[in-house]
Amino acid sequence: MPTTGRQVNFPEYDNFLDLLDQKGGPFKFVTEAKNFPVGSKIGSLPTARSLAEIEKSVLESSRVKNVIAEEANRRNVSIGSVRKEAETMLKEMAHNYNLLNVRMFGYAVTSIMKKLFDGIYINERKLQEIRERSKKDCVIFMPSHKTYFDFLLLSLVCFLYDIQLPAIAAGMDFMSMKFVGEVLRRSGAFFMRRSFGDDQLYWAVFSEYVQTHVVNNDRTIEFFVEATRSRVGKSLHPKYGMLQMVLEPYLRGSVFDLVIVPVSMNYDKILEEKLYAYELLGFPKPKESTSGLLKAREILNKKNGNCFLTFGDPISVREYFGMSLHRSTFVCQPDSQFIIDKQAKNEIRKFAHHVVDIHNKNAVITVWNIACVVMLQILDKNDEAVFDYFTLYSKVFELIQTLKKIGTCVNILKNLDADLRYYIRIIHDDLFEFEKIDEENFLLKFIDFPVEHEKMRVSRRIMERSVSRLILTTYSNAMIHSIDSESIILSLLLKSSENQISKSIILTKFEWFHNIMKREFVIIPNEIDKLFEKTIQILKTSGIIMITVDDKLEIIDYSTTYKLTALIWPYFHHFQIVFNYDWSNEKIENINSMIPKIQKKISDLYNNSTKNVRLSFFSTEPIKNAITAMIEIGAIEKRGKNDFEVNSTKLNILRKEFNDFTNNINNSKL
């Protein structure tokens, strides 16, 4: 069979597990002498502060003392009682980093990693630069977030390369895990509430705690710009609060510079994949617990493939923002009146999207991601399909060739046949029933997974079948960032009744659709023109479209166009179903209250319609994204806290544009 793609073992990547063996195994690795650099602050020699000194600096800061006084006055209680409350908050959130604990925990983690993974690949050439930068400027790691293992892997890599282990922003639910919560705390994790609300005291204590680490460069810091794990396999719309918090010392002039390091985390198999599928169907997320972690020991008995940590170029905050953020505006503001204006907030938010964009550009796309796309397309035609390996192989090969035309690299470890068999027969064999045809070929049939069906609006049979489809979608989503803009432009050109259409018209529609789908396809705000021009050049260079002398666009490679638009169609069709739901008679209290009703509609369409309705459309995340888009454009208007009203005029405009667009793609030669 022919091979294609690029191998992942190109020079800039090292296998952490090989390096671990070279050091003599997990025990020698965690017990070797370490030389972590000690950071410094402006005007000071490098010094390592104790945990007690860090806590004292928080409680004695002018910001916290002022808020304590204000709260005492507001509640009419003593300052001492409010201070004790602040001390309790600080004890609850603060890490208790201890190198001996890190070594003990590290031994357990590295031993587990050797059993779990065949390879942990790192582009190590960036790490020496990061280590040097950390000596004078605080380094902020901002990884993508796919699984609980993300922060464990990053800490192990920092330990290996003598980079100060990060203080990690972790959710409060981890703290409630007996034993594990305390181990994480002693490994550098600090805990934050999921929502601060209007608790000014908590805001002050937490922000001061984070910022004292930044100002004094006590440790590197790690937080996830997406705030939560991506259950859907692709980048989530970023959150801005934590980023704004760590940038504040720079804006105040308390630090000369900060260094941001985006890290892309990619996995052949996400250990929580089934848990995610059940959550996306609407089943409640189980509470984090040590017992739940121990019950997962069965995962140690099988391989989970490879994972990839790709460190992006370190970003100097000072160089990135340049003159777009004038620090003189903020330096003289007193703590109690510190306000980040709208322009600065927009720049910070834009930067968050920039980090997510880097995550996507550095993401490793594997044969398994492409295979999941192909299997979902096969199931579009027959959701009960049983197909053979050779058919799957040929379609995966064909799609990889199509993606190569627009510059999408699919990383291949050995060759396409070996990789595809590896993923199906070893890493993801729990999704299939196999039936041998001959020595080389075999049939694949998807397994149905059990569900608890109480209070569900959709039949048990459909729900049980949907689990595997949602797992496939999680992995297929991991490559969608590489074709989304190209596919949208080609879809818009297909929609046109003319052979040639003005670039300016396509740009306007491109911007409108990206705005509607911005939570599905995360892009950098206010840079849509740049994205459009870059995408047009890719399509032109690849020979898919041509640009006429009067600046019009024309498709010249329809075969590739149909293949690429087929990849984007399900995302638009999913939104179309939500938009076309009969909203007129609904009393809308909140987004979550509507999800089961829309899932019921999807079930009806699946049972009765001849159109392609994927079982993965039951996923709650895209449904939420579609409803949020309706609210943002005014098709659904918020009247009160639990009161929404449909704007029929705006909804009909949205429906018409979307129906024309999506139906046109569906009727093309997909």
Secondary structure (DSSP) of 442-490: EEEEEPP-----TT-SS-HHHHHHHHHHHHHHHHHGGGGGGTHHHHHHH
Q: Please list the helix, strand and coil fractions of the chain in percent, rounded to the nearest 5, in that order.
A: 55, 10, 35
- 203 within 8 A of 196, measured Cβ to Cβ: yes
Signed CA dihedral, 572, 576, 579, 581: sign only? negative
Average pLDDT of the segment spanning 639-643: 79
pTM of the full structure:
0.92
What six digits make up the tokens of 556?
């010249």
Highest mean pLDDT among 166-170, 364-368, 587-591, 605-609: 364-368
The residue among 53 and 331 whose pLDDT is bigger is: 53
Alpha carbon 589 to its chain's center: 28
Count CB-CB contacts under 10 A for residue 345: 13
Whole-number Å distance between alpha carbons of 655 and 109:
51
Does the pLDDT value for residue 41 go beyond 80?
A: no
Q: Which residue has the tokens 């079982």?
A: 615
Q: Which residue has the tokens 């990619």?
A: 266
Whole-number Å distance between alpha carbons of 98 and 9:
35
Highest mean pLDDT among 139-143, 169-173, 606-610: 139-143
Label residue 84 by pLDDT band (50, 70, 90): very high
The one-character DSSP state at 232 is: T
Tell me the β-bridge partners of 554: 500, 546
What six digits make up the tokens of 229?
């794990």
CATH topology of domain 31-269+304-361: Glycerol-3-phosphate (1)-acyltransferase (3.40.1130)
Average pLDDT of the segment spanning 369-379: 97
What are the residue ranges of CATH 1.10.10 in the chain?
A: 367-480
The residue among 434 and 664 whose pLDDT is bigger is: 434
pLDDT score, position 6: 39
Label residue 285 by pLDDT band (50, 70, 90): low
pLDDT score, position 5: 38
Count CB-CB contacts under 10 A for residue 629: 21
Label residue 47 by pLDDT band (50, 70, 90): confident
pLDDT score, position 286: 56
Burial of 519 (0-12, 13-18, 19+ CB in 10 A): middle
- 78 within 8 A of 68, measured Cβ to Cβ: no
Signed CA dihedral, 527, 533, 536, 537: sign only? negative
Does the pLDDT value for residue 670 go beyond 60?
A: no
pLDDT score, position 195: 77
Average pLDDT of the segment spanning 540-548: 96
Lowest mean pLDDT among 72-86, 383-397, 583-597, 615-629: 583-597
Count CB-CB contacts under 10 A for residue 236: 22
Does the pLDDT value for residue 449 go beyond 80?
A: yes
- 238 within 8 A of 436, measured Cβ to Cβ: no
Average pLDDT, the chain: 89
- 564 within 8 A of 486, measured Cβ to Cβ: yes
Count CB-CB contacts under 10 A for residue 393: 21
Does the pLDDT value for residue 184 go beyond 60?
A: yes
The residue among 670 and 297 whose pLDDT is bigger is: 297
DSSP state letters, 355-384: HHHHHHHTPPPBHHHHHHHHHHHHHHH-TT
What are the residue ranges of CATH 3.40.1130 in the chain?
A: 31-269+304-361
Does the pLDDT value for residue 287 go beyond 60?
A: no
Tell me the β-bridge partners of 170: 191
Whole-number Å distance between alpha carbons of 14 and 2:
27
* Residues 10/16/21/25 CA torsion (nearest 10 deg): 180
Label residue 290 by pLDDT band (50, 70, 90): very low
Does the pLDDT value for residue 490 go beyond 90?
A: yes
Q: At what angle do helices 460-476 and 273-281 cross, to 10 degrees?
A: 120
Tell me the β-bridge partners of 169: 190
Lowest mean pLDDT among 33-37, 58-62, 362-366: 33-37
Label residue 669 by pLDDT band (50, 70, 90): very low
Count CB-CB contacts under 10 A for residue 9: 13
Alpha carbon 76 to its chain's center: 45
Label residue 44 by pLDDT band (50, 70, 90): low
Show the DSSP H helices in 119-254 as ranges. Answer: 125-133, 149-160, 172-175, 180-186, 200-216, 241-252
Does the pLDDT value for residue 233 go beyond 50?
A: yes
Average pLDDT of the segment spanning 445-473: 88
- The rounded percent of the chain whose pLDDT value lies above 70 is 91
CATH class, domain 367-480, is mainly alpha
Radius of gyration over alpha carbons of the chain, in Å? 26
Does the pLDDT value for residue 181 go beyond 90?
A: no
pLDDT score, position 333: 67
Query: For 579-635, what is each residue's pLDDT tens digit?
Result: 999 998 888 888 888 999 999 999 999 998 756 799 999 999 999 999 999 999 999
Q: Closest Cα to residue 531, out of 478, 479, 481, 477? A: 481
